[in-house]
Structure 1
Amino acid sequence: MKWPTNKTYFYCQNHGFDIWQQQVHAHASLFAARDEQTWLLFDADSYQFSVLFFALLAANKSIVLPQNGQPEQLAQCLAQAEAFTGVADNTYAEVAFNIHIGIEQAVNTVIEVDENAAIRFFTSGSSGVPKAIDKTFSQLLIEVKELEQQFSEQMQQTIMVATVSHQHIYGLLFKVLWPLYTGRDVCFNSFDYPEHLLHFINLQNDSHDFVVISSPAYYHRLVQDNVLVAIKHKLRCLFSSGGPLKTAAARQLACQLGDAPIEVLGSTETGGIAWRKQNAHDHWQAFSTIKLKLDDCQRLIISSPYVDNGQWYQTDDRVQLLTNNQFNLLGRADRIVKIEEKRCSLDEISVKVNQSDWVLDSYVLLLQHDSSTGKRDEIAAVLVLTEVGEQALEQLGKFKFSQALKTHLKAFFEPLVIPRKYRYLTELPYNSQGKLNKAQVEKLFD
């Protein structure tokens, strides 16, 4: 497969497609000279990541993408790879990005990519350990083509900007592959705060409009003090994924900026399933490549070219099917939850909590707050302590004890998904059938 020679311009590096292509070829030569076949790739810099990603593909290597750059996560994922490339603390890169190679090298050939090249993602699994999700490059490209078919009309002469990471499938598709495939200009900087995005847009000339790729958490904060109102005429469209956008926020954004975000529903396993724009309708419209049906528990089952070669795949979303391949979400059916679009497994967190010498047993739960209170949802844990743990709790006190537990968990998880509240019991409240009394546990946090 020949990768398109579209003339993308990268505003983060002031580089065009030709220089990017030269750097990909130069780095591909470095990878091709290595015997290792499977490479773990993590680099927080989106431009460097994109060069290394395509260089690995051009060198006919397989890629493993970790959930994040936390040291224990990288160590676990590196066990399924032969070598590391990119930039991460405490992890040595056998091949790293080098900005000086390839710049002066003339490249007359396009990038050749094996469409069956293997890419392994990691996401939180219900078994309590990170779950490996295997894709081929062709599956990702099919999804990019579907996005272009569905949304291209409103994206002509635009610069794509994002607040999300390229390490996850949403950011990889929307921030890296889509602009590269279609030749759209893109800024690979990450805009953590709306003020930074506003400043960047104000520095550009008026010949381009902008497409914003972000998350519900970002938009929920934005509506409270929307500094982007001043440049709303430059915002062609907004994309959101990672979880449903609250209706009140979607409608408020429509009032402030003239249009609600386009929300994309999906996961690492499924790829994009459906989309909606809440100022037009609240239901979800499945993409043209997706077929839908339900099981007996109203869980959505899909047929998708992005997963299992179109075989039927059961999701954990409960839905109400409508006409014309549309549906309404009714909620999730498992223990996978999202905190500000960070997907995590409550069971996985519990497994890591139990690895502490202080903890005999634990139950991790999601505390959901009414949006009107201004409080965000948070994760909590109920612990049964070992004798050593009880002694530590007595010596340290609850605050220092919980801080020590959080430090233990930071080796595995990003801070946002680490339990914030803790309760202590002598035993978890199981009934005679061995089932946990969840209502009793939840009352501990009232």
Structure 2
Amino acid sequence: HWNNTATEHPVASLLHEPFEAMARQYPAAIALEYDGQQYSYSDVNQRANQLAHYLVQQEGIGANHIVAVCLERGPELLVALLAVLKAGAAYLPLDPDYPTQRLHYILDDSQAGLLLTEQRLQGHLPCRAVVCVDEVSLRQELALQPVDDLLHERLTAEALAYVIYTSGSTGQPKGVMVAHQQICHFLAAMSQQPGMSRGERLLAVTSLSFDIHLLELFLPWSVGGTVVLAGLAASRDPLMLMTLLQQDIRVMQATPATWKMLLEAGWQQQSPLRVLCGGEPMSAQLATRLLSQPGVELWNMYGPTETTVWSCCGRISQPADGISVGRPIAHTRVQVLSAMGQLLPIGVAGELWIGGRGVSQGYLHKEDLTAERFKRLSDGQFWYRTGDLARWQPDGQLEILGRLDEQVKVHGFRIELGEIEHHLLQSTLVRDAAVKVVRGDDDENHLFGYVVLQPELESLSVIELHEQLLTELRSKLPAYMQPERLMVLAELPLTSNGKVDRKALPLPDVATMQAAYEAPQTATEQALAV
């Protein structure tokens, strides 16, 4: 019954339709605020319509086309996204901060027929057809275009809405295809829980390269709310974010790293704020710190890009009882299966599979990979195998235990990296932590730990730190799960999506490390270590 998630809540057919409805019903309401300037629903809608008419009439854009969008954060970016959707095409978001080689690969792999960008960026982006939205001649031409909504008789809910590239295990990113019906069901679910109402203001801080941007932009617009768009500098500066949060913001979504950044900068939230935290596991320590803010209502969000942004969510109120990801959202089902594809009982860990209305159309131009990850199960429906290790709790809450592919062997023992990180974060010494496995010159795997200390402990010596942490870990983990080396960092390196960048974690300098862990050697030592 935990998968009984069907609802009667109305769902739009096309992603941009609710925005158009709000523009008709509440034309003067504020749709967007950026850098102190406010833009009404009517204004944004008309500008998007003019660009959409241009794309259809002058560039031949329509259904089944992919249009890449590479623009700096600002009103033109949001207008461009709406215009592509209104033209009947799917948008492909590109972060201008991405390495040029990665942008080249995505443009080539996606076979995007058109690129919307700006003159400053054009030279770095190869594409057969390019439209620079900041060209004076284009702006003059757009001013002559109709301002009315476009009508698409043949555009259906099954049409592609966007393609977004995620990291691939092969070393090259892969494009996930999401249709209008999938993202519309997601937004309808989010409007109910965690919830958002007309007139509420959401602070948008996420790069468009991360699919959670869809909630930040289109959830407010689906209910008649306001998107307060943080600029690039503000999205990375805790003091600037704190200033923005004081401007009657009711909802903000971010990764754990961003929330930690705010807390470390002394953020205090007095007014009501719905905090959505996702993209990486939320620690009990972070949840406790967030809930210490008087105005915070805390939600933990979980879901892979392949099943449309978030697939589960749960409100967190008692972190000491454990951090779950709640239950499946509306029209979403989840199963915990064994390696043989059998349903596992409550409390037993297995691979998490996700089904329902949010399951995407698979990977662009990668039919084999799509067939490998998206399977039709006994119910006749397509399910996505997440590669995440999960288990049901007795109360129907779902617990994510880590990645199946993070199960590594060190000295012959199978180890889950997330479990070690979890215990490091339980220490009162540690503010943040990560663990990495490195292949050594001896052709063996070695565990390295990386910690960010609490501010008042930064003067602690490496030897003292190592001894204190190892003393704590010994009571919780067998010897083979204790890091051989610990490295103190000022901050953990992050990707542009705000996640920990494990590849950028430095290799410890063995010469400066103390108290090296010695792996159990004899059969007796190994037996005792278990």
**Residues 177, 360 of structure 2: 8 Å contact kept:** no
2:132 alignment partner, one of 96, 99, 103 = 96
**Structure 1 residues 131-154: Cα deviation after superposition (integer angstroms, max 9, x where no partner):** 2211112211111111012233x6
Q: Distance in 2 between matches of 1:383 and 1:114?
A: 54
Tell me how far apart the structure 2 counterparts of residues 316 and 241 of structure 1 sit (CA, whole Å).
Answer: 17
- Comparing 247-256 with 368-377, greater Cα deviation is found at 368-377
Deviation, 1:98, is: 4.1
Alignment-derived partner of residue 197 in structure 1: 241
Matches of 1:326 and 1:225, distance apart in 2: 33
Look up the match of 1:444: none
CA separation of 1:423 and 1:198: change in aligned 2, threshold 3 A: closer
Q: TM-score scaled by structure 1?
A: 0.71
Q: Does structure 1 residue 217 correspond to structure 2 residue 257?
A: yes
Contact 2:253 2:276 in 1 (8 A): yes
The question of 1:3 aligning with 2:45 is answered no
Q: Is the 8 A contact 1:42 1:69 kept in 2?
A: no
Deviation at 1:186? 1.4
- 2:343 matched residue in structure 1: none
Question: Given the alignment of the two structures, is residue 238 of structure 1 paired with residue 275 of structure 2, yes or no?
Answer: yes
Aligned length: 364
* Larger Rg belongs to: 2
**DSSP-derived class of the 1:319 partner:** strand
Match of 1:306 among 351, 358, 364: 358
- Structure 1 stretches lacking a partner, 5+ long: 338-364, 385-409, 425-437, 441-446
Change (3 A) 1:242 1:77: same
Q: Which amino acid aligns with 1:91?
A: L
Q: Hey, what does 2:115 align to over in structure 1? A: 84
**CA–CA distance in 2 between the matches of 1:317 and 1:163?**
26
Distance 1:105 1:84, change over 3 A: closer
Checking the alignment, whether the CA contact within 8 Å between 2:53 and 2:145 is kept in structure 1 is no
Q: CA, structure 1 residues 76+335, in 2 after alignment: closer, same or farther (shift >3 Å)?
A: farther
3-state SS in 1 of match to 2:193: helix
Describe the shift of the 1:72–1:326 C-alpha distance in structure 2 as closer, same or farther (beyond 3 A).
Answer: same
Alignment check: 8 A CA contact 2:301 2:314 kept = yes
Deviation, 1:117, is: 3.2
**Stretch moving more, 288-297 or 112-121:** 112-121
Which residue in 1 is equivalent to 2:386?
315
Given the alignment of the two structures, is residue 161 of structure 1 paired with residue 203 of structure 2, yes or no? yes
Do 2:66 and 2:92's aligned partners in 1 also have CA atoms closer than 8 Å?
yes
Q: Which amino acid aligns with 2:99?
A: Q
Does the 8 Å contact 1:382/1:422 carry over to 2?
no
In the other structure, the counterpart of 1:15 is 39
Amino acid at match of 2:182: Q
Deviations 1:236-276 (A, max 9, x none): 31111211211111111111234352121011112212112
CA distance in 1, matches of 2:520, 2:311: 33
Match of 1:28 in 2: 52
Kindly indicate whether the alpha-carbon contact (under 8 Å) linking 1:65 and 1:167 is maintained by their aligned counterparts in 2: yes
CA distance in 2, matches of 1:121, 1:167: 7
Q: Distance in 1 between matches of 2:170 and 2:520?
A: 23
> What's the % identity of the aligned pairs?
17
CA contact (8 A) 2:176 2:360 kept: no
Equivalent residue for 2:293? 256
- With over 3 angstroms needed to count, the CA separation of the structure-2 counterparts of 1:111 and 1:383, relative to structure 1, is farther
> Given that residues 23 and 51 in structure 1 are in contact (C-alpha distance below 8 angstroms), is that contact kept between their aligned partners in structure 2?
yes
- CA distance, structure 2, for counterparts of residue 145 and residue 329 of structure 1: 24
In 2, Cα distance between the equivalents of 1:211 and 1:25?
28
Residue aligning to 1:285? 327
CA drift at 1:294: 1.9
Q: Which residue type is aligned with residue 169 of structure 1? A: D
Seen in structure 2, the aligned counterparts of structure 1 residues 142 and 111 have a Cα distance that, compared at 3 Å, is farther
Question: Alignment partner of 2:149: what SS?
Answer: coil
**Per-residue deviation, 1:193:** 2.3
- Between the aligned partners of 1:254 and 1:240, the Cα distance in structure 2 is 12
> Which whole-Å CA distance do the structure 1 matches of 2:217 and 2:179 have between them?
16
- The aligned residue for residue 274 of structure 1 is 312
Q: Counterpart of 1:38?
A: 66
Q: Secondary structure at the match of 1:223?
A: helix
User: Are the counterparts in 1 of residues 93 and 164 from structure 2 also a CA contact under 8 Å?
Assistant: yes
CA contact (8 A) 2:200 2:220 kept: no
Provide the residue aligned with 1:137 in structure 2. 180
Tell me which residue corresponds to 1:419. 504
Q: 1:46 to 1:268 in 2, by over 3 A?
A: farther
Change (3 A) 1:104 1:323: farther
Name which of structure 1's ranges 365-374 and 253-262 shifts more when overlaid on structure 2. Answer: 365-374
Q: 1:46 to 1:265 in 2, by over 3 A?
A: farther
- Preserved CA contact (<8 Å) 2:273 2:297: no
Q: CA deviation at 1:196?
A: 0.9
Q: State whether residues 46 and 188 of structure 1, in contact with CA within 8 Å, keep that contact through their aligned partners in structure 2.
A: yes
Distance in 2 of aligned mates of 1:415 and 1:227: 22
**Is 1:327 matched up with 2:398?**
yes
Give the match for residue 10 of structure 2: none
Q: Do 1:126 and 1:335's aligned partners in 2 also have CA atoms closer than 8 Å?
A: no
Distance (whole Å) between structure 2 residues aligned to residue 418 and residue 52 of structure 1: 33
Distance 1:71 1:122 in 2: 15
> 1:72 and 2:101 equivalent?
yes
Contact 2:388 2:403 in 1 (8 A): yes
| Correspondent of 2:217 among 173, 176, 185 | 176
Identify if the C-alpha distance between structure 1 residues 242 and 125 changes in structure 2 by more than 3 Å, giving closer, same or farther: same
Structure 1 residues 336-415: aligned runs within 5 Å: 370-371=424-425, 372-377=429-434
